[in-house]
Amino acid sequence: AQLGGSSHAQQYLQNLDEHPNKLMFSQMCNPQAQADARALCQKHLGTVGHSSYLEECVYDVCAGGGEVAAEMTAEMLKF
């Protein structure tokens, strides 16, 4: 059955099926993109940027959320 979605998502799910214990994050975001995402998240998270939320933010930014993902993480942490 054809479900739709992006080719990136299809490749991710195929790799996950073939290698269920392998972390896919490194395939999603190269080292420079990870560094850029980390800087972006630290900008929005401020002092909270040294917590576990930082890594979650970096993942979300690299997964395609962009700066909006960092802004949303920071907004959620205000509560």
Query: Which tens digit of pLDDT belongs to each residue from 47-62?
Result: 776 678 888 888 888 8
Q: What is the pLDDT of residue 13?
A: 72
The Cα 27–Cα 52 span in angstroms is 21
Q: What is the pLDDT of residue 3?
A: 60
Q: Rounded to the nearest 5°, which phi and psi values hold at 6?
A: -85, 160
The Cα 50–Cα 59 span in angstroms is 15
Those residues of the chain that have pLDDT short of 50 are: 1
Q: What is the pLDDT of residue 22?
A: 52
